[in-house]
Structure formats: structure tokens, C-alpha cells
Amino acid sequence: MKKNRKNDNFNYMQLKNRYFLLRHGQTIYQTEKRDFLYPFPENPSIPITEEGKKTVEESAKKLKAENIDLIFSSDFFRTRQSAEIIARELDLEINYDTRLRDLNLGEFHGRQITEYKNFFSEKSERFFKRPKAGENWNDLKERLKNFLDEVEKKYQNKNILIISHGDPLWLLAGILKGFKKEEEFLKSRNRDFYPAVGQLIKV
């Protein structure tokens, strides 16, 4: 299968803004439904738990000292809820952007995680192999780079908070650090780059 390598033109070294990345708060898909993948579309909406709210509130307090200028968020319900908690604490508006949505898993949404994992013979295949009606990691990187390029052209010297999901934030952190090779991204799948639910990363 041919790999998608069309998205290596982002200007990594001349970022005009400072970025903070926050993963949405805990949902039941990190507790009693942890063996299953989120459905898409969310129907009914999947709220964050009370523990999830608490964790996001703690991150909001930390962010008060960072002089955040702008908030961008995925428009999924769990990220909207998390963003609203942050926005109230920081007294800022939220800019929702569909490019910050979680990875589209296509036919595997709502199914067991093991089914999705077994679709790939090795983790690196996730960069170029797509599930039916879904995305691969290179597709996700492309829309994240499009988002970043637009933000970088529009703003400068801003402290920007991005609220999203695990895979997008992991890839976004790598993009902001200047990663280009797949190996660099794969080696960075740790808590410095791949946040736990409610966790804040400074880039």
C-alpha cells in the first residue's frame, strides 16, 4: 500500500505563538467502557464524568498563570464540555474547529479496541493504512498542519490553548517540536507527548 507523505511542508522552526495542549476530561470510555471505541457521531452525546470535570478544573487553575489569549477546541461534546470549564475560568471565548476532532476510525467506531488494533500488522501501518470510511495518522497530521498553518498566519505572540483528543494532541505536539519522520512520532507516544485525559502539555 502506498504511503501518504504529502504533508511535510509545515514551517516548524519559525512558530510565532506559544502553544498549550489539553486533552478532554475523563468519560465512561476511560472507565467501564474502556475496551470499546467511541461511537461516531456521538448519539447520544457522551459527557465527561465528575472526575473528568475535576481534572479539567485543576488544569484551568494552572492555565490562569499562563496568560492564555485564545482557546481552540474540537467540537465533540466531551471537548466542548472541557473547553467550557476552561473558558469560564479564563473568561475567554471558544473557537471550535472540526480539524481538531479525534481520529476518524470509520467502520471501527463503537466496536472493541482489539478489533481496530488487529486491523494493523504493526503500529507504523496506522500512518498509511485506512479503515473503511476512516482516516490514517497521515490524514490526521494533514488536517492538523492545515489548522496550525492558518493560526500561525493569523496570529503572533499569542498564548494559545488547544483542546482536543489523545491522537490529535500527540501528533500536534510532535509537529510543534519539528518531527518529520514516522519513527520520531512513534518514539514520542509517552505522557510528555500523549496526554492522559484532562492533562495539560506545554509545547
- Are 25 and 48 in contact by the 8 Å Cβ rule? The answer is yes
Lookup: cell for 108: 471501527
Look at residue 44 in the predicted model and tell me its pLDDT. 85
**pTM of whole model > 0.75?**
yes
Mean per-residue pLDDT of the chain: 94
Q: Does the structure show a pLDDT above 80 at 201?
A: yes
Exposure string of 23-56, with b = 16+ CB inside 10 Å and e = fewer, is bbbbbebbeeeeebbbebeeeeebbbbeebbebb
Q: Which three cell numbers stand for residue 144?
A: 492538523
Q: Does residue 42 carry a pLDDT above 90?
A: no
Structural domains of the chain sorted by starting position, each given as residue range(s) with its CATH number in brackets = 12-202 (3.40.50.1240)
Does position 74 have pLDDT exceeding 50, yes or no?
yes
> What sections of the chain are H helices per DSSP?
50-63, 77-90, 113-117, 137-154, 166-177, 182-187
Residue 7 has pLDDT above 70, yes or no: no
71-77 average pLDDT score: 98
Confidence of residue 2 (pLDDT cuts 50, 70, 90): very low
Q: Average of pLDDT values for 130-153? A: 98
Rounded average pLDDT over 199-203 = 94
Q: How many CB atoms are closer than 10 A to CB 17?
A: 17
